Amino acid sequence: MPPSKVLITGASGLLGRSVAARLAELGYAVTTMQRSASGLTGVRELRGSLTDPDAVARAVEGQDAIIHMAAKVSVSGAREEFENVNIRGTEQIFDAAWAAGVENILYVSSPSVAHAGESLVGASAGAPDPVHAQGNYAQTKAAAELIAQERTSLGTNVLIMRPHLVWGPGDGQLTHRIVARARSGRLPLLGNGAALVDTLYIDNAVDAFTAGLRRLPQLAGERLVVTNGEPRPIGELLIGIAEAGGARRPRLRVTPGVAKAAGLAIEKVWAGASRFVQMPGDGEPPMTKFLAEQLSTAHWFDQRRTRELLDWRPSVNVEEGLARLADHVQRTGSVL
């Protein structure tokens, strides 16, 4: 029998909120835990931090399964902040699950945990590498994924899923930042923008995670990258999302080498200044070395094993996703 009582951490973000809403519609008894309100109805919502053992224990108690999505996601910030949430928070979840007898955990990771900066072309879900992954986010998520793998060997049913670049209406992360930066003229296209990149439209992500939950514990021990399976030139994707969001086509072009050098310098200045003043825009630096690599190297993944094991296929292609985003923005006046 599939689990009926499910805890979702990180439901204030688009993916967590959307998965929680879908599972509630399907009849699951859903509990969410995050620091800020999710805005959901029909779920039991708990507010708390992953670093608070008592709060985590209350959330985990009585659950059949956990979908652990909560993380610090950023291209900047103090290393300790990433470690507290992404590593120690994950340890808290697994420790509380063990104590409460919760055997099924769907751990949400990222393809960046196995990305050392080079192009990924038709790649599989490589092993997490905390040493060579790029940046604090990827390194701490890689360390957390190793924790998840270790708990699998101890008897917990853990399925690791790595969604790649989730976007769509309501997304305050990737989609909002692309559109906001395009509107302000701060969205660069690196080189010729031809590096192939795959993404994941939000509706497809929700379907994939629902399928993953249904197949626990049969898929315990697996790690799966999840994408639309439609690699596109990065320039084409950035332009498409920007225009669907009501922004002008980005025209700023920078060579990858210049962007990486500038990103490295900006990171150092940004890290120091952000401790004393409120940084402009979305609070993220305009460029980092990691971001420059992501915008100038190919990263797309072989989806055959993911689709076979999940018995899942994306239902919304990139063109339809862009049309839905444009319609949402025209109706609401906002990406969010």
Residues serving a catalytic function are 137
Q: Which residues pair with 105 in a beta bridge?
A: 66, 158
Task: Give yes or no for a contact between 133 and 195, defined as CB atoms under 8 angstroms apart.
Answer: no
Cα separation of 164 and 314, whole Å? 13
Handedness of CA 85, 135, 159, 157 (dihedral sign): negative
Cα separation of 20 and 294, whole Å? 29
Residue identified by tokens 């497809």 is 204
Query: By CB neighbour count within 10 A (0-12 exposed, 13-18 middle, 19+ buried), where does 28 fall?
Result: buried
Secondary structure E strands in 179-266: 189-190, 196-197, 200-201, 223-226, 232-233, 253-254
Cα separation of 299 and 232, whole Å? 10
Query: How far does CA 221 lie from the centroid of its chain?
Result: 20
Task: Give yes or no for a contact between 65 and 3, defined as CB atoms under 8 angstroms apart.
Answer: yes
Q: Take residue 25 and report the two structure tokens written for it.
A: 């519609």
Cα separation of 117 and 115, whole Å? 6
